[in-house]
Amino acid sequence: IADVPVADTVPSPETRAFRNKMEFAFAGSLHLGLYRRDAPGRICEVTDCGIAGPRTMVLVRAAREFCRDFGQPAFDPKTGKGLWRHLVIREAAATGQTMVQLITAPRADAKKAATGLADHLAAACPDLTTFVHSTRKTKSAVAAGERIELATGPGFIEDRVGRTAFRISPDSFFQTNTVGAEKLYDTAMVAAALTGSQTVWDLYCGSGGIALYASAHARQVVGVDSSAMSIRDAKTSAGENGIVNCEFVKGDVRRTLESLRATKPDVVFLDPPRAGTHPEVLAALRLLRPARIVYVSCNPATLARDAMALVGDYRVDGVTPVDMFPHGPHIECVMGLVRKD
């Protein structure tokens, strides 16, 4: 695509202790840390991390101590044996709430291990908001639970982006840089040029971040995501914020669009995973012909690929990079596309 106007990068308001979610992996007998960039699959036992929140490393050190003393090895995806899999820590920037999610294999001793770790972490961090134990049977090394077995406290935390409060459950999607998310959403709103009269779709909406943020500037908003937990959080957040013009639908975006045609959109937000938007979704949008499409992407390569599928009917109004990941190689981009009439 030639002659695309690219704005200056919007910087993250914070460059240290900005990350609200950290995923740590267990390995061997027993290491707990982050995957090494130069050796995928191997663990680096970090003792400090400048991008993590203030409680994270306290919790990691306490978890490492307890899990070693418990005497069971980490899960080995090659053999399917072992107990410990991942430790996910979320810290809410606005509320100070903290959630720990332990992910283990579904073994007979998992409950005893999780209960003991929950007590140990509560002693190490008395203001811990909630501890959730999930099990995962699938061998793939993904830090996501398949079944929640135990929760102490409410089982979720709450955070805010601007004036909007968000419910965050263990496996629901929420931007990992809270203060950066406000910059990202503000940039997306500018690209959308909302006036208060439009019908808006937010496809791949996660826990409703863009949809809820846009609700104050739109007549109606419909969010779609395949994650039941994320959709549940989005609906709860809408209710707690008194937002009545948002509807959230659980379903695969590709298969759900047909049922949404009655609410023909004026503006569509796309915020897909790194793999990008399914070609059938892009083809459906070309037929629906919304006046604007705002594509939010953490992968410039798939963003460029998908934009090529739209430029026959749309022109690229501009691209604004947003630095959501300081000190890392990744960048978020907001692309505005305007229909050619």
- With contact defined as beta carbons under 8 Å apart, do 100 and 128 qualify? yes
Which one of the listed residues 125, 205, 298, 333 is annotated catalytic? 298
What is the separation, in whole angstroms, between the first and last Cα of the chain?
Answer: 19
The three-point CA angle 75-169-242 to 5° equals 175
Say whether 298 is catalytic: yes
Whose CA is closest to 167, among 129, 201, 203, 199? Answer: 129
Residue 156 DSSP code: -
Instruction: Tally Cβ neighbours within 10 Å of residue 308.
Output: 11
Alpha carbon distance 183, 111 (integer Å): 41
Contact call for residues 87 and 102 (beta carbons, < 8 A): yes
Rounded (to 5) percent helix, strand, coil in the chain: 30, 30, 40
Placement of tokens 């101590």 in the chain: 65
Q: Is the peptide bond before 30 cis (omega within 30 degrees of 0)?
A: yes
- CA 300 to CA 302: how far, in whole Å? 6
Residue 110 C-alpha from the chain's centroid: 27
Distance CA 339, CA 291 (A): 5
C-alpha distances (whole Å) from 271 to each of 5, 23, 222 are: 20, 22, 14
CB 115 within 8 A of CB 129: no
Q: Catalytic residue numbers? A: 298
